[in-house]
Amino acid sequence: MSEGTEWRLHVDPTRCIGSGICAGVSPRHFVLVGGLSRPVAERIAADESVLDAAESCPLEAIVVSDLDNLRRIAPEG
């Protein structure tokens, strides 16, 4: 991934169970509000830790996509 790439973070509130895994794996980018996770910011500079968070979510509630072309980066199929 190139320098300056921007990603979009989305947490599906209907899937999230508030396990707190993402907020532990990537505390700069996810926060629990009212028991459910939400991204601290929707647009972020590319950061490997949000891929870890998306791949670790048991409900696959987190989607990371490329801001330019909206292609899904994580979770993998």
Partner 1 sequence: MTDTSQATIPQRYPFNAPFRLDLDARYAELREQPLVRVQLPYGEPAWLATRHADVKTVLGDPRFSRAASVGRDEPRNTPRQQETGILSMDPPEHTRLRRLVAKAFTARRVEELRPRTRAVADELVDGLLAAGPPADLVAHLATPLPIRVICDLLGVPVSDQDRFHTWSEAIVSTTSLEPGLAQHYLDNLLAYMGGLVARRRVEPADDLLSAMVRARDEHADRLTEEEMVTLAAGLLAAGHETTVTQIPNMVYVLLTTPGAWATLGERPELVPVAVEELMRFIPLGATAAFPRYATEDVELGGVLVRAGEPVVVNIAAANRDGAVFADADRLDLTRQVNPHLGFGHGVHHCVGAQLARMELRVVLETLLDRAPGLRLAVPVEELTWKSGLLVRGLVAMPVAW
Applying CB under 8 A, does 49 fall inside the site for partner 1?
yes
53 Cβ partners below 8 Å, 6+ apart? 21, 22, 25, 26, 29, 30, 62
Percent helix / strand / coil, the chain, rounded to 5: 20, 30, 50
Applying CB under 8 A, does 66 fall inside the site for partner 1?
no
C-beta closer to partner 1: residue 38 or 67: 38
User: Total residues contacting partner 1 (rule CB under 8 A)?
Assistant: 18
Applying CB under 8 A, does 58 fall inside the site for partner 1?
yes
Per CB under 8 A, residues contacting partner 1 are: 18-21, 23-25, 27, 32, 35, 49, 52, 55-60
